[in-house]
Structures are given as structure tokens and as C-alpha cells.
Amino acid sequence: MNWNILIFFYLALAMTFSSLLAIISRNPVHAVLWVVVMILHQAFLLYTLGSEFLTAVQIIVYAGAVLVLFLFVVYMINLRKEERWKVFVSKSSYGFIIFVVFLYLFFKNLAFLTALNPAFKVQLTYDLSQGSNLLWMARYLYSHYLFQFEVIGVILLVVIFGAVFLLRKLKEVG
């Protein structure tokens, strides 16, 4: 068997099981950590597909920023176990029905996608022999969308100041 196929199946199984463990985990911190495991495996899958830029974005943005935000929210909410468990038990039948519907749709679409045979070839606007796709993506983004990156940086800075301000207010009250 080919190593690429083995690596793909390992990554697919690891992402599936870590996603399931994140869903069924009772502790919200453990759920966030399982999502981190899933995102890291997904980043490695993107790397095996030759997309270094998306790998870096996946690790930096999702594993680094979004999940840290999730952890802050989990620690700030501080739900009691009794309330969480009652809500989970009363809504579990709906979740199972939705899961079965999504499973059916997944296998239906999987059968459709495997039957497709693309009759076109993607034409790239650049030559990969002159540099990696990360270099070309960076040149394109920072030449055409530099202002948007600067605006996003300012917005993230304001978000950080807001989080620090909220935590200071909570400490003063408590």
C-alpha cells in the first residue's frame, strides 16, 4: 500500500475520532483540547496536499487564536454541572436525529463525488517552479490586500484591549 494513502487514512481517522470526542466530552476544556487535536491533524492534511499557506493559517488562526478565545469563554462562563447535564439529556434525542440525517447526507454526497470525473485541468496564473505556493500567495495578498490586513490587525488589537478591560472589571467586582 502507498504511504500517502496510509497517511491520509490515519489523518482522516484521527480527525474523525477527535471530533467525536470533542462532541461527547462532558468537560468543556477537554472538548476544546480535542478540537485542537483535530485542527492540528487537519493542518497536517493540508500540508500533505501541498498547501503550506493554508497549513500555517490553520495552525496560527484556528489553533492559536480561535481556540484560545474558546478557552477564555469556557473559563468565564463557569456553568454548573447540574444545569449542563439536564440540558444535554433533554436535547440528546434531537442531536441523534440530526446526526443520522447528516450521516445519510454525507454518504450520499460521498457517493456522488466519487462518481465525478473532472474533464478540465486547472490553469494556474503563476509558475510553481519559480517559487512555492506560499511565496506566490504572500505576494498576491500583500500586494492587493495590504489595507485589509492592516484593518484586521487593528480590529484584533481592539479585541485584545476589550478582553483585558473586561477581565479587569470582573476582577474589580469579584
67 & 87 share domain: no
- Are the beta carbons of 165 and 158 closer than 8 angstroms? no
Mean predicted confidence (pLDDT) in 121-143: 69
pTM of the predicted protein model: 0.52
169 versus 25: which is more confidently predicted?
25
Give, in order, the Cα–Cα distances in Å from 7 to each of 2, 63, 96: 9, 21, 30
15 versus 155: which is more confidently predicted?
15
The alpha helices in the chain, defined as continuous H runs, are 3-24, 28-48, 52-57, 67-77, 81-115, 133-144, 146-173
- pLDDT of 42 strictly over 80: yes
Q: Within a domain: residue 124?
A: no
Q: Within a domain: residue 50?
A: yes
Mean predicted confidence (pLDDT) in 64-69: 76
| Domain total in the chain | 3
The pair phi, psi for residue 78, each rounded to 5°, is 55, 60
Among 88, 117, 146, identify where a domain stops.
117
- Average per-residue pLDDT for the chain: 75
8 & 66 share domain: yes
Using the CB atoms, write b or e for 59-95: b if 16+ within 10 Å: beebbeeebeebeeeeeeeeeeeeeeeeeeeeeeeee
The set of cell numbers assigned to 133 is 505556493
Q: Nearest CA to 40 among 21, 20, 67? A: 67
136 & 111 share domain: no
Task: Residue 162: give the domain boundaries.
Answer: 130-174
* Contacts (Cβ under 8 Å, ≥6 apart) of 171: none
138 & 165 share domain: yes
74 & 84 share domain: no
Q: Could you tell me the CATH number of the domain that includes residue 3?
A: 1.20.120.1200
Mean predicted confidence (pLDDT) in 23-36: 82
